[in-house]
Amino acid sequence: MSNHSDTNSPVKEAFWRFSRKSPGIAKPVNNIHPTRFEKFNGNMIPNRKKEYDSSVIFNHNQFSSSTSTSPYLSTVNSQTQITTTNIDNQPNTNTTSTTTTTTKMTTSSSASNLNTMENSLSHLSLSSSSVNTSVISHSSSSTHLSVSNSPNSLSSSLNSSNGGIDTSQSQQQNNNIQNINSNRIKKFERLLNTGIHVDMESLKTLGWRGIPNRYRPMSWKILLGYLPSNCERRDEHLERKRKEYRDGLPQYYTSDEKRGESDRRTLKQIQMDVPRTNPNVPFFQQPLIQDILERILYLWGIRHPSTGYVQGINDLATPFIWVFLSEYIEDVANCQVDQIDPNILAMVEADSYWCLTKLLDGIQDHYTFAQPGIQRMLASLKGLLEKINNSLCAHLADQDAQFITFAFRWMNCLLMREIPFPLVIRMWDTYLSEKEGFSVFHVYVCAAFLVLWSDELKQRDFPDIMIFLQKPPTQNWEERDIESLFSTAFYYRSLYEEAQSHLKSNNINLNNNIIKK
């Protein structure tokens, strides 16, 4: 597997490697049972085919879900969650931690089973997490505990164990978590506020795992290229761009009598879309926020006549408003916007406009005539699914469930209507840290998202498939679910990126030959 220098994922070649003697067979590093994976119709599946769906490549529900037991742990009477994270945020360092809940086991048998697990288990899933951080605690029995970032979830997990863990150990784990979070915040502090220039590669590497709330506004602006990496020029640049936006509003956002027919149609469409934007988030139903969103969208549409305003762009502007307001307001979700200083709102509006412009500059062909960028992403998604889970792809074809009917919105709105809004913010941390995150990496995320519901979809006919995919059951998702989704997406990208590039180059050569003839 080639070294993907263009990705900033902390997961590098250390996890998956390919045997030169057995091309195409992926073997986890340090796996003591490498023969448990074999090639079957292009898919990597366990040898015990009868126990698993032969179309599965990487099923988090079976192999790495926190709610299920890995098939490799059948000899241990416990539920085990295997998670890999990087405590010191170095991309090539792997830490394995295990959470074990023992049921009616003696102390001696518990220690024996845990030692067996430590000696036999290998890396089963990968997590690019900024929130779910693993902590290694060495006891007399070498017990490894995976600790969630939430103290409440930690306490409930520990209390549920019949074996029991004393309060002092629980407190120590909480202290370790706080130290890890504190160290991570210090890294962002040093990176963004010390020195003359910000190291962009270091920022992308840290940002891939998620960005702390207090540093997210500045990090997004730098990653998008709105703020310069030179620390000394930031204030001057912000003042100039905000003034430019403020001076341009009277020129473009005029009275209705001065607008042409095309501008009136654009404004009317925007005024229809704004109230329907994020209807489940009360913050975006406040009149002042809707006015800000309307001005941003209208001004962008007028200044970009080749594209104009297109439905879906309204969704893309909302994360910027939310994140940039969080720089001044601690609790954005519950704030009353009419009580906020108008000068703050004006700065948030200007910054949101310029960052939306930067984002759309990179994916502008998604919104031009016939939307070729989205068509290309849909074709890539279908090609990926044929390789990853051919049985699901065949079932969708049998039910005449065309990809454009359900995945068009995934590409147009970047899954913002399928994922809870707070988790969308976390997703954008990674997208902004990836090269072509909103266009290329997003396709792999959509493939992982679709395969996640494979078992449910195969049991449904066309109407139920459409209903399910338009409103998937993600309302109770947490950040760890996004981490798992990104882990699978990165895995798919590692396997199939070269294959996709090869197909693309072949298509280009074929088109050139046709033109010459």
Q: What angle do CA 36, 39, 43 make, to 5 degrees?
A: 105
Q: Which two tokens stand for residue 397?
A: 């074809």
Per the structure, how many domains does the chain have? 3
The answer to the question of residue 296 being in a domain is yes
The pLDDT value recorded for residue 108 is 39
b/e map 171-190, b = 16+ CB within 10 Å: eebbebbeebeeebeebbee
> Is residue 128 within 8 Å of residue 9, measured between CB atoms?
yes
Are 382 and 512 part of one and the same domain? yes
**Residue pair 135/173 in contact by the 8 Å Cβ criterion:** yes
Q: Domain check: are 274 and 169 in the same one?
A: no
Residue 365 lies in a domain: no
In a domain, 499, yes or no: yes
**Same domain assignment for residues 348 and 478:** no
- Tokens 């702390």 label which residue? 212
Q: Is residue 195 part of a domain?
A: no
Report if residue 85 sits inside a domain.
Answer: yes
DSSP annotation string for 46-100: ES-GGGS-TT-SS-HHHHT-TTS--GGGTTSSEEEEEEEE-TT--TT--EEEEEE
Q: Are residues 46 and 89 in the same domain?
A: yes
Are 166 and 282 part of one and the same domain?
no
In a domain, 510, yes or no: yes
Q: How far apart are CA 359 and CA 279, in angstroms?
A: 23
Asked if residue 379 and residue 481 are part of one domain, the reply reads: yes
Q: What is the mean pLDDT of each run of 10 residues along the chain (517 residues)?
A: 45 39 41 41 39 39 37 33 37 37 37 39 35 34 34 38 58 74 85 86 93 95 94 91 93 81 92 95 96 96 90 95 96 95 96 97 90 94 95 95 94 95 97 94 97 95 95 94 95 84 47 45
pLDDT at 340: 96
- Is 320 in the same domain as 287? yes
Q: Are 296 and 317 in contact (CB under 8 A)?
A: yes
Q: What is the CATH number of the domain that holds 396?
A: 1.10.472.80
Q: How far apart are the first and last CA of the chain?
A: 37
Confidence at residue 93, expressed as pLDDT on a 0 to 100 scale: 37
CB 84 within 8 A of CB 64: no
Q: Which domain holds residue 274?
A: 212-354
Residue whose pair of structure tokens reads 């940002």 in the numeric block: 207
C-alpha to C-alpha distances, 163 to 23, 159, 234, 304, nearest whole angstrom: 46, 9, 55, 64
Question: In which residue are the tokens 């809940």 written?
Answer: 101
My answer on whether 249 and 300 are in the same domain is yes
Cβ burial of 490 (10 Å; 0-12, 13-18, 19+) is: buried
Distance between CA atoms of residues 170 and 152, nearest Å: 11
Decide if 31 is inside a domain: yes
> Is 360 within the bounds of a domain?
no
Among candidate residues 186, 221, 256, the one where a domain is terminated: 186
At residue 500, the pLDDT reads 59
Instruction: Please state whether the predicted TM-score (pTM) of the whole model is above 0.75.
Output: no
Claim to verify: residue 377 and residue 334 sit in the same structural domain = no
Q: Quick one: three-class SS letters along 198-263? A: CCHHHHHHHHHCCCCHHHHHHHHHHHHCCCCCEHHHHHHHHHHHHHHHHHHHHHHCCCHHHCCHHH
Asked whether residue 376 falls in the same domain as residue 501, the answer is yes
Domain edge (last residue) among 354, 383, 398: 354
